[in-house]
């Protein structure tokens, strides 16, 4: 299987925003193993708030494709996510490919798939695969998630500004003598001591 780049849901939202509101975009997002429903909820939240459009989700394993082709146009400009957490059989991929004209719409369609769907998508649904083109990515960590370097930089800023060590801050929080200003709450969260805030 070819290597695909990793994109966060924020990256995907940004990509769709740049393409415009009626871009007819098709995007495939491949789930990392063990991915939970939280990742899908986060994707929906990011897309909905960043693109200011509602989202709908349909399961490709259980949805009737005839019905799907109708409801994708009612409305046809919201964000639709078609989910297959496990691979579909070859007949179902072929049937989806035959319905491709009925699935075309103004708003974006995101295929939220397990990685083992890719060979069948390419072989049994070549027309849909061509709609997707190069827009096939692994779902990465949340966009904007603070890096370890950033966390350390922020902690160093606090240590320098207040003249306290991280250990002293934890000790004071445990002794309930830590000031209640916002910086000290941030400090504890950055130290992974949310239990002390």
Partner 1 sequence: MVSAPREGRPSVTLEDAKKRAHSLDMEIHARIGGFSLESPHKVVSAVRAYLIRRAGEISVENNPWKFLKFSGSSEGAWLITMGPTIDRGDTEEHFHFDTGARLSFGLTLQEEGSKSRLLSFRYQYNLPDGKSPRFLRFDLNRSAHADPLQEPLCHLHPGLEEARLPFFIHSPLEILDRIFFVIDKNL
Binding stretches for partner 1 (CB under 8 A): 10, 14, 41-42, 45-46, 48-50, 52, 142-146, 150-151, 154, 157-158, 160-161, 180-186, 188-195, 197
Which CB sits closer to partner 1, 46 or 78?
46
Give the Cα separation of 183 and 191 in Å (integer): 12
Which CB sits closer to partner 1, 98 or 197?
197
Which CB sits closer to partner 1, 73 or 151?
151
CB of 44 to partner 1, least distance (A): 10
CB of 43 to partner 1, least distance (A): 10
Residue 36: its H or E element: none
Residue 83 phi, psi (nearest 5): -110, 135
Concatenated DSSP letters of 185-196: HHHHHHTT-GGG
196 CB-near residues (< 8 Å, 6+ apart): 170, 173, 174, 178, 188
Which CB sits closer to partner 1, 7 or 120?
7
């Amino acid at each position: 299987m070819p290597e695909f780049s990793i994109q966060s849901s924020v990256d995907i939202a940004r990509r769709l925003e740049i393409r415009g509101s009626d871009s007819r975009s098709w995007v495939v997002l491949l789930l990392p193993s063990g991915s939970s429903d939280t990742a899908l909820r986060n994707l929906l939240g990011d897309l909905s708030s960043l693109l200011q459009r509602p989202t709908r989700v349909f399961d490709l394993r259980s949805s009737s494709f005839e019905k799907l082709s109708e409801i994708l146009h009612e409305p046809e400009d919201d964000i639709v996510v078609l989910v297959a957490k496990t691979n579909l059989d070859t007949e179902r991929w072929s049937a989806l490919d035959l319905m491709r004209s009925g699935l075309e719409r103004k708003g974006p369609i995101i295929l939220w798939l397990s990685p083992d769907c890719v060979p069948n998508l390419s072989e049994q649904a070549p027309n849909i695969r061509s709609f997707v083109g190069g827009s096939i990515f692994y779902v990465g960590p949340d966009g904007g998630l603070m890096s370890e370097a950033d966390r350390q930089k922020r902690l160093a800023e606090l240590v320098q500004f207040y003249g306290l060590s991280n250990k002293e801050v934890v000790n004071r929080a445990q002794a309930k003598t830590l000031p209640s200003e916002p910086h000290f709450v941030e400090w504890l969260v950055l130290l992974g001591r949310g239990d002390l805030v």
